Amino acid sequence: MAYSVTCDITAGPLTLPRVAGSVGAVYSDPRRDRPGFGAAVELPAVLELLTAIQTGQITAAEATSAFVPFLARLDEFDRKMADHFARFDY
């Protein structure tokens, strides 16, 4: 029951338009306890942010905060799934 997300992300002065991702689809046990577990973001956008860090255009903290829209969507997804499964008696 995953869904796609497309949104602009901003890291300091850098804005990446229409970054695609998904929530509720990608899971990796070694990072189960990390923020963002269950979300994916297109690799070209991540690489662009890393390049901007390397060139001093943005800070690592600014790059991290750029993913807040995806984290918010992931929280929304997690709440919806919890509500959905709470309706069933297992």
Domain chopping of the chain, boundaries: 3-86
22, 48, 56, 77 from 70: Cα distances, Å: 8, 17, 24, 10
pTM of the model: 0.76
- pLDDT, tens only, 28-86: 788 888 877 777 889 999 999 999 999 999 999 999 999 887 777 766 766 776 666 66
